[in-house]
Chains A and B, each alone.
Chain A
Amino acid sequence: MNRRFLVLLMLFALSALAFAPIQAQGNTLNVAWPYQVPPTGHFNTFASGGIALGQYQDLHEPPLAVLMWATGDYAGMVAEEFGWDDDGNYVIKMVEGNSWSDGSAMTADDLMATFNIFRLRGDTVWANMSGIEKVDDSTVKFVMDSPSSLAERIILTTNLRPASVFGDIADRAAMMDAGGDGWDALLQELTEFRPESPVSGGPYTILPDTISEANLMMELNPGGFAGDIQHYDMVRMWNGETEVVTPLVANQELHYITHGIPPTTEEDFANRGIDIVRSGMNNGPGLYVNHAVYPLNLVEVRQAIAYAVDRIQNGVVSLGESGVAVEYMTGMSDGLSEAWLSDETLDSLNTYEHDLMKAEELLTSVGFSRNDDGIWVDDNGDTLSFELTFPQEFADWSAAAENATAQLNDFGFDISARGVQFQQHPQDIYASNFEMAIRNWGLGDPIPGRSYLQAYNRYNGQGDLAGEGGGAGMNFDNNVDYSGGMVNVFDLSNQSSQGVDKSAQAELVTQLAISYNELLPAIPLWERYTNNALNRNFIMVPDSGDSIFANFGGGADNWMTTLILTGVTAPADM
């Protein structure tokens, strides 16, 4: 009897699943981002665990503006007018007539609340600001200590939050001196604050009852920003990382992902007629060396390494078409180099094209020679034997490390590659516990000076910030002597994002680029391009050649959310 019952039960349930209707696609946009379900996940997007949804936060907490990467200009979203006034303060006038999903009007109070909470959290933008003033119901003035492109970017890419939800805490924070009595308690109150339901000011609102570990639904919010120009009634946000969402893309239930996918999956998607959208991400893996380890501190050795590694091969082996070899070797992406450096400067740069003879000449020039086994020996008689570590869980970086190791060993180095647990690996770099390592160069940010923060700051003395190690990182002396003279490259990188005079910034960026190109403190291998899977059978967006795809944006400026906010994205069968 038991057996019969169990078999029947299983058959019944299997048939229920087998004949479960495919969820109606209807007028629903299917995209994906990982989130945590309640109670771990919640609706306080200022606090850890908040269901913000990455770049899709723009859909429920709209940005003030979006940078169009192809032109370098900001396109206003919630900010209708924005710019510097004569006193060097930044003024934003908001679009009027929008409302939040709880019925409250979207006004300057929301902007005030958002930035007062940032002050409570200690966000970086307040390093440049001394205050914020409400001019009228739709205008806010940011009182700046000094104008800067960086501050402008942080302000404009901010996602607006509702004063009706956060206003109370924000107002109390505004009345307090930072760090004074009650400050920490208020900060704790903020992080533990749990709004009962999400309040949206964008075109879509999260429906709390639909949140499951599989997906959540967002419904059209007609009164919100851009709510009146949408082509979809609903957005279904699938939950999960790459391995979880991959079957859904293959199954055509999910139509667009920004998750990085391996080349084999890419090929499978392409065979199913799914488009792969590629945009440069301004960063990628590089070969870092510990400058306290002789002879890696010699510029000739680093240059020889750059010549000895075929970066094109390394990129293709690691990430297929999305691993694009770096050409200019300036520490920035090639896109930023072309945008910020003059043609004359670009022509003068050493591109370190794969050339074993030049690598040989460089090593010979500093007194190195090969031993009987063909292994390079330095001027002290020691073989060029090093350990190269890499985060073993990152498939593309692991491939880059192993390929670079093989190429360098073929050239006569004696390098052994070793994988390290991915969360331990950066700690090892911070603590200077490495000889050679694969870490990331560049930054997904349009401000060129910030690309240097990895080499000159994060991996060079950030141990105290990282909480462990407290080491000197790669031990590179930021005071460098190059063909342009003596400069402190870290100071230069900071100065280059200050002020608003682009030509003055470009001069500093040029110094950074040339010095980096000459000294190669770390050796960029290739730039990571996105490989977003886009099923054009379901989603209509511009063709691949459109300039909007320069907006790769993992966080701000994402091309898909920009197209949604501007009413362009639509169902393919429209």
Chain B
Amino acid sequence: MALPNSDLEINRSGVQSPVAAVQQFIAAYPIHKNYYVRIFVQAILTIWAVLTVTFFLVRQMPGNPIDVLIEQILTQEGISYQEAYDRVAASFNFDPDATMLDQYVDYVGDLLRLDLGTSITSPGTRIIDEIARFLPWTIFAVGSGFLISFVLGIILGMMMAYYRDSALDHTLSLVSSFFTGVPNYIWGLLIIIGPGISWNWFDVGAARGTYDPGLTPGLNAAFIGSAIEHALLPIITYVLATLGSWMLSMKSSTTGVLNDDYVNVAEARGLKDRRIITAYVGRNAMLPLFAQLSISIGFVLGSGVVIEEIFVYWGFGHYLFQAITVRDYTSVQGAVLILSSTFVFSNLFADLTYGLLDPRVRISGEK
């Protein structure tokens, strides 16, 4: 490729300066004008901004890791403040007197080396190991709940729209409105108190945890069965808490599509209902929900905090909650990195794939 006619900076010795070389490269390959590159860089900058704000915000929270543990020990053990301080200060890998700027520079330096650091409150424990311990369970439970809820919501929402003003529509609308209005932690508590304690349908203690102790994690039936069993209550809770909004959204979207001309034409052409529902109505009605789903995925990891505490199903939500509670700054930063990355990249994914699902967007983009 021939170089464009740009102002080349050649110094007197005839060697091109680095700045000029970069300018020349950009001029030759204007990647900054590339849509995909631009939104990827934007995503990285967004994550960096979130991490920076988080870094300083968590340090503005009341107390620090040492104070928090001192208070815990004082409450639990009834020893003097001096004893508690001596014990805690010596066992922490944390200097409360270090300047925030120094800490920030260290943090960014470690991050650039892909090192999330070690926990403050459990010195020597790598953040990446902790995240690897907790993250998969949240993805499994919340992800499963989300998927089930989405699929059920789509189906029921379409049925409501198709049979609008019928008894089925009225009943499902009422149910979905009720489901939408009850927050997930209430569902969690109701499940524990009703079927768990009052009716003894299940053993509250045995349902806790992510799998039965003594099993070896891996692709074996015992472990998989146990993991599904332990995740069931959180999954049911997530489904109950989110199903209503998917149903209502799908009903609204489908109702709009049903009034479109091309549906009337399809009916006039005598196409079978099943084909109209799947190829004409369902696909188009789902498009707005797809964007909503992509954005919601970003919330998946952060949405389990309370549920994981209620069911003692320790995943990423518990990890973040615990880290904030004990002011484990490095753990909070690691968790926020995962959260913000998930959120930003799920949006990015939605942007990139929406065109594939909706030809109108693709064509419009090409024009």
A residues whose Cβ falls under 8 Å from a Cβ of B: 2-3, 6, 10, 13-14, 16-18, 20-23, 36-42, 46-49, 54, 120-124, 187-188, 191-194, 209-217, 238-240, 243-244, 247-248, 250-251, 253-254, 281-283, 421, 423-424, 426-427, 443-445, 450, 453-454, 457-458, 462, 465-468, 554-556
Closest chain A residue to B83, Cβ basis: A124
Contacts of A124 in B (CB 8 A): 80, 82-83, 86
From B8-16, B116-124, B258-266, B359-367, give the one contacting chain A: B116-124
The answer to whether B76 and A554 touch across the interface, beta carbons within 8 angstroms, is yes
Q: Which of A217, A247, A423 contacts B197 (CB 8 A)?
A: A247
Q: Which of A49, A217, A443, A454 contacts B122 (CB 8 A)?
A: A49
Q: Which of B29-88 contact A (CB under 8 A)?
A: 61-64, 66-71, 75-83, 85-88
The answer to whether B155 and A3 touch across the interface, beta carbons within 8 angstroms, is yes
The answer to whether B124 and A191 touch across the interface, beta carbons within 8 angstroms, is yes
Q: Which of B226-243 contact A (CB under 8 A)?
A: 228-229, 232-233, 236
The answer to whether A121 and B196 touch across the interface, beta carbons within 8 angstroms, is no
* Total chain B interface residues with beta-carbon distance under 8 A: 76
Distance in angstroms between the alpha carbons of A424 and B119 in the assembled complex:
22
The answer to whether B86 and A122 touch across the interface, beta carbons within 8 angstroms, is yes
CB distance from A313 to the nearest CB of B (A): 25
Report B142-180 CB contacts with A as 1/0, cut-off 8 Å: 000000100110010000000000000000000000000
Distance in angstroms between the alpha carbons of A462 and B84 in the assembled complex:
13
The answer to whether B229 and A16 touch across the interface, beta carbons within 8 angstroms, is yes
B245 within 8 A of A: no
CB distance from A349 to the nearest CB of B (A): 24
Closest chain A residue to B228, Cβ basis: A13
Contacts of B152 in A (CB 8 A): 3, 6
CB distance from B153 to the nearest CB of A (A): 12
Contacts of A217 in B (CB 8 A): 213
The answer to whether A283 and B124 touch across the interface, beta carbons within 8 angstroms, is no
| 19 A-B pairs whose Cβ atoms sit less than 8 Å apart in the complex | A10-B232, A16-B225, A20-B202, A20-B203, A22-B203, A40-B133, A41-B122, A48-B123, A122-B89, A124-B82, A191-B92, A217-B213, A247-B197, A251-B205, A423-B67, A444-B78, A445-B80, A454-B81, A467-B66
The answer to whether B148 and A6 touch across the interface, beta carbons within 8 angstroms, is yes
Closest chain A residue to B118, Cβ basis: A192
The answer to whether A49 and B81 touch across the interface, beta carbons within 8 angstroms, is no
The answer to whether B96 and A467 touch across the interface, beta carbons within 8 angstroms, is yes
Q: Which of B125, B201, B214 contacts A209 (CB 8 A)?
A: B214
Report B117-140 CB contacts with A as 1/0, cut-off 8 Å: 001011111100110010000000
From B246-254, B274-282, B309-317, B344-352, give the one contacting chain A: B309-317
B207 within 8 A of A: yes
B residues whose Cβ falls under 8 Å from a Cβ of A: 61-64, 66-71, 75-83, 85-93, 96-97, 119, 121-126, 129-130, 133, 148, 151-152, 155, 192-193, 196-197, 200-214, 225, 228-229, 232-233, 236, 309, 312-314, 318, 322, 327
The answer to whether B312 and A424 touch across the interface, beta carbons within 8 angstroms, is no
Distance in angstroms between the alpha carbons of A283 and B75 in the assembled complex:
10
Closest chain A residue to B80, Cβ basis: A453
Contacts of B126 in A (CB 8 A): 39
The answer to whether B121 and A48 touch across the interface, beta carbons within 8 angstroms, is yes
Closest chain A residue to B229, Cβ basis: A16
The answer to whether B80 and A121 touch across the interface, beta carbons within 8 angstroms, is no
The answer to whether A23 and B206 touch across the interface, beta carbons within 8 angstroms, is yes
Interface centre among B97, B207, B309, B312 (most CB of A within 10 A): B312
Q: Which of B63, B119, B309 contacts A244 (CB 8 A)?
A: B309
Interface centre among B78, B206, B313 (most CB of A within 10 A): B78
The answer to whether B96 and A23 touch across the interface, beta carbons within 8 angstroms, is no
Closest chain B residue to A23, Cβ basis: B206
CB distance from B8 to the nearest CB of A (A): 55
Given contacts A2-B151, A49-B119, A210-B214, contact A458 B96 (CB under 8 A): no
Q: Which of B76, B124, B133, B208 contacts A214 (CB 8 A)?
A: B208
The answer to whether B122 and A251 touch across the interface, beta carbons within 8 angstroms, is no
The answer to whether B203 and A427 touch across the interface, beta carbons within 8 angstroms, is no
Contacts of A468 in B (CB 8 A): 63-64, 67, 96
Contacts of A424 in B (CB 8 A): 62-63
Interface centre among B69, B192, B203, B232 (most CB of A within 10 A): B203
**Which 3 pairs across A and B sit closest by C-beta, in order of nearness?**
A444-B78, A192-B124, A424-B62
The answer to whether A554 and B78 touch across the interface, beta carbons within 8 angstroms, is yes
Closest chain A residue to B90, Cβ basis: A121
Distance in angstroms between the alpha carbons of A240 and B233 in the assembled complex:
18
Interface centre among B75, B124, B192 (most CB of A within 10 A): B124
Distance in angstroms between the alpha carbons of A444 and B201 in the assembled complex:
42
CB distance from B17 to the nearest CB of A (A): 46
Closest chain A residue to B195, Cβ basis: A18
Contacts of A445 in B (CB 8 A): 78-80
Q: Which of A13, A194, A450, A465 contacts B232 (CB 8 A)?
A: A13
Closest chain A residue to B319, Cβ basis: A40
Contacts of B89 in A (CB 8 A): 122
CB distance from B120 to the nearest CB of A (A): 8
Closest chain B residue to A553, Cβ basis: B78
The answer to whether B122 and A444 touch across the interface, beta carbons within 8 angstroms, is no
Contacts of B133 in A (CB 8 A): 37-40
The answer to whether A122 and B90 touch across the interface, beta carbons within 8 angstroms, is yes
Given contacts A467-B67, A467-B97, 8 further A-B contacts (CB under 8 A): A20-B207, A40-B119, A40-B322, A121-B87, A192-B93, A443-B78, A465-B85, A468-B64
Q: Which of A18, A211, A247, A453 contacts B213 (CB 8 A)?
A: A211
The answer to whether B81 and A458 touch across the interface, beta carbons within 8 angstroms, is yes
Closest chain A residue to B231, Cβ basis: A13
The answer to whether B205 and A238 touch across the interface, beta carbons within 8 angstroms, is yes
Distance in angstroms between the alpha carbons of A172 and B204 in the assembled complex:
48
Q: Which of A13, A248, A443, A556 contacts B229 (CB 8 A)?
A: A13
The answer to whether B78 and A283 touch across the interface, beta carbons within 8 angstroms, is yes
Distance in angstroms between the alpha carbons of A3 and B159 in the assembled complex:
14
Closest chain B residue to A442, Cβ basis: B78
Q: Which of A39, A238, A462 contacts B130 (CB 8 A)?
A: A39
Distance in angstroms between the alpha carbons of A47 and B87 in the assembled complex:
9
Closest chain B residue to A394, Cβ basis: B75
The answer to whether B197 and A23 touch across the interface, beta carbons within 8 angstroms, is no
Given contacts A49-B119, A214-B208, A281-B78, contact A247 B62 (CB under 8 A): no
Given contacts A3-B155, A23-B206, A427-B63, contact A465 B122 (CB under 8 A): no
The answer to whether A244 and B312 touch across the interface, beta carbons within 8 angstroms, is yes
Contacts of B122 in A (CB 8 A): 36, 39-42, 47-49
CB distance from B265 to the nearest CB of A (A): 29
CB distance from B250 to the nearest CB of A (A): 14
The answer to whether B82 and A465 touch across the interface, beta carbons within 8 angstroms, is yes
The answer to whether B202 and A18 touch across the interface, beta carbons within 8 angstroms, is yes
Distance in angstroms between the alpha carbons of A209 and B212 in the assembled complex:
10
Closest chain A residue to B155, Cβ basis: A3
Contacts of A554 in B (CB 8 A): 75-78
Contacts of A13 in B (CB 8 A): 228-229, 232
Given contacts A42-B125, A423-B63, contact A250 B197 (CB under 8 A): yes
Given contacts A445-B78, A555-B77, contact A240 B312 (CB under 8 A): yes
The answer to whether B76 and A54 touch across the interface, beta carbons within 8 angstroms, is yes
The answer to whether B82 and A248 touch across the interface, beta carbons within 8 angstroms, is no
Closest chain A residue to B309, Cβ basis: A244
Distance in angstroms between the alpha carbons of A461 and B327 in the assembled complex:
24
Interface centre among B90, B202, B207 (most CB of A within 10 A): B90
The answer to whether B210 and A121 touch across the interface, beta carbons within 8 angstroms, is no
